[in-house]
Structure 1
Amino acid sequence: MTADGLRPLLERVRYEVLPAKTTEEKVLAHVPRDVVVTVTASPVKGLEPTLDLTARLGAHGYRVVPHVPARLLRDDAHLKEVTGRLREAGVDDVFVPAGDANPPAGAYDGALPVLRRLSELDSPFARVGITGYPETHPLIHDDITIQAMWDKREHATYIVSNLCFDARVLGDWIARIRRRDVVLPVHVGVAGPVQRAKLLAMATKIGVGESTRFLTRHASWFLRFATPGGYSPERLLGRAEEALTAPSAGVAGLHVFTFNQIAETERWRRALLDRLAN
């Protein structure tokens, strides 16, 4: 890896965390204030834990990006309430995925209607993120996911790519969305230095029903994390460096899925930055 290419991406990093009991304590202990923290939302626990943690971390001086899944919003009044609470907490950046709640909590079954409604509400957030899928979505064809990004481009300001473990697939996807004239900057989703045992423990803690869905949908993740030499974020970044750092790629930074292994993730990032500096 070269310092000129990857160091800026590691410096413009976002850490995705889950709103668990110890998350606030871990973030305060290990995450610098210049690192953006994004807070997920659970279809089991709803939006409240996300909104609460977002407000608390914001009060500590962090720039926090809450996930607001469309399928967790009950109706227009609920969207307005959530928007008001986030603006009151100083939030100016939200991530709007469709979400996994099945059935949806209300009328919104996808992200686009929520994005349109936010635009109708005079775009209360300066930055709005949407999802990209480098690896095939388990339920949606690739052409449809790329078309969805095109449809959302008027209402969003950036894309966060879902996890990808294959440098070639990641590079091909970036090239493909650019050929389709999707020009929004991309924050590339990368798994941190995840330990399989801790990942399993985390999946168990998020709830019986949800953890079952998590393990079923992401069985390949556990195989990659468990196999000796199967996954290394540093190796993935090295292999994908050319694709990520090309000016035409429009990569704005890294979105690191910490799976709440927050201390380990920040130690890994600092160590890698130190090595790139030498």
Structure 2
Amino acid sequence: MAATGLRALLDSVRYEVLPAGATEDKVLAHVPRDVVVTVTASPVKGLEPTLALTERLAAHGHRVVPHVPARLLRDEVHLKEVSDRLRESGVDDVFVPAGDADPPAGAYEGALPVLRALGELGSPFARVGVTGYPESHPLIHDDITIQSMWDKREHATYVVSNLCFDPRVLGEWIVRLRRRDVTLPVHVGVAGPVQRAKLLAMATKIGVGESTRFLTKHPSWFVRFAAPGGYAPERLLTRAEQALTAPSAGVAGLHLFTFNQIAETERWRRELRDRLDG
């Protein structure tokens, strides 16, 4: 990939973190203030750990995007309470996936009704993100996921793609989005420089973050992390050069799944930027 293209992506990153006990300290120690931090939500622990960590990080001056899964919201009253609480903390950006809670906590089965309800509340957030699935969702047909993004386009301001390890698949997905006139900017989901042993330990210890849950549904992905010369984020980005940097792609930046290996992710980003800077 041309240095300018990759360099620009590395300057426009989001770090997804899990609301565990040490997360706040790790973010404060290693994440620059100009890097957006997104906080996942657990179908087991509910929204409270996400909201509490979001409030604390925002108070420290970080730009924080909480995940507000539809299936963790009880009703419109609950949604308003959550929205008011976040706005009081200065949050103006939320990510609204459907979520994994089964059964749902309340009336919302998917993200679209929540997006509509936010509109009815006066659109309290300047930015609202929704999920994209470059690789097949384990339960939903690909055409339905792209149709879903079309349905959400009037209520959202950007798309965050879930993990993808295949540059060809990623490129084809972006083309399909644009052919369907989904014009929302895309933040491409990429796993950071994750060590398999640490990832497995995190999955065992927490086992509830949406990103970790998604990974565990794809056990072959663990092999990619473990294989000699296997997964490396820089190699994926290089091979996806044309898909990510084409003017028609509309890629706004990278969404890095840290799996709470926050220091390692930031070190990798800095070292790669230094190499590109010569």
Q: Give deviations 1:77-136, integer Å, cap 9, x for gaps.
A: 111110010000000000000000000000000000000000111100000000000001
Hey, what does 1:71 align to over in structure 2? 71
Instruction: Tell me, in whole angstroms, the C-alpha distance in 1 between the residues paired with 2:44 and 2:228.
Output: 33
Q: What aligned pairs does 1:205-220 form with structure 2 within 5 A after superposition?
A: 205-207=205-207, 216-220=216-220
Instruction: Tell me, in whole angstroms, the C-alpha distance in 2 between the residues paired with 1:172 and 1:213.
Output: 25
TM-score, normalising length from structure 2?
0.97
Instruction: Tell me, in whole angstroms, the C-alpha distance in 1 between the residues paired with 2:76 and 2:44.
Output: 21
Q: Specify the code of the residue in structure 2 equivalent to 1:267.
A: R
Q: Is the 8 A contact 2:42 2:209 kept in 1?
A: no
Verify: 1:86 aligned to 2:121, yes or no.
Answer: no
Hey, what does 1:189 align to over in structure 2? 189
Structure 1 residues 228 and 41: CA distance shift in structure 2, 3 A: same
Q: Is the 8 A contact 1:69 1:99 kept in 2?
A: yes
Verify: 1:257 aligned to 2:267, yes or no.
Answer: no
Q: What is the Cα deviation at residue 212 of structure 1?
A: 9.8
Query: CA RMSD of the aligned region, Å?
Result: 1.6
Q: Which structure 1 residue ranges, 5 or more long, are not aligned? A: none
Q: What is the Cα deviation at residue 218 of structure 1?
A: 2.6
Hey, what does 1:121 align to over in structure 2? 121
Verify: 1:247 aligned to 2:209, yes or no.
Answer: no
Hey, what does 1:166 align to over in structure 2? 166
Q: Matched residues, percent identical?
A: 85
Q: Give deviations 1:24-83, integer Å, cap 9, x for gaps.
A: 000010000000000000001100000000000000000000000000001111111100
Q: Is the 8 A contact 2:41 2:69 kept in 1?
A: yes
Q: Which structure 2 residue ranges, 5 or more long, are not aligned? A: none
Instruction: Tell me, in whole angstroms, the C-alpha distance in 2 between the residues paired with 1:99 and 1:167.
Output: 26
Q: Is the 8 A contact 1:44 1:207 kept in 2?
A: no
SS for the counterpart of 2:181 is coil
User: How many corresponding residue pairs?
Assistant: 278
Q: What aligned pairs does 1:1-12 form with structure 2 within 5 A after superposition?
A: 1-12=1-12
Q: Give deviations 1:165-209, integer Å, cap 9, x for gaps.
A: 000000000011000000000000000000011101111111589
Hey, what does 1:277 align to over in structure 2? 277
Structure 1 residues 251 and 209: CA distance shift in structure 2, 3 A: closer
Q: Is the 8 A contact 1:204 1:211 kept in 2?
A: no
Structure 1 residues 208 and 4: CA distance shift in structure 2, 3 A: closer
Q: What aligned pairs does 1:89-238 form with structure 2 within 5 A after superposition?
A: 89-207=89-207, 216-238=216-238
Q: Is the 8 A contact 2:40 2:210 kept in 1?
A: no
Structure 1 residues 266 and 209: CA distance shift in structure 2, 3 A: closer
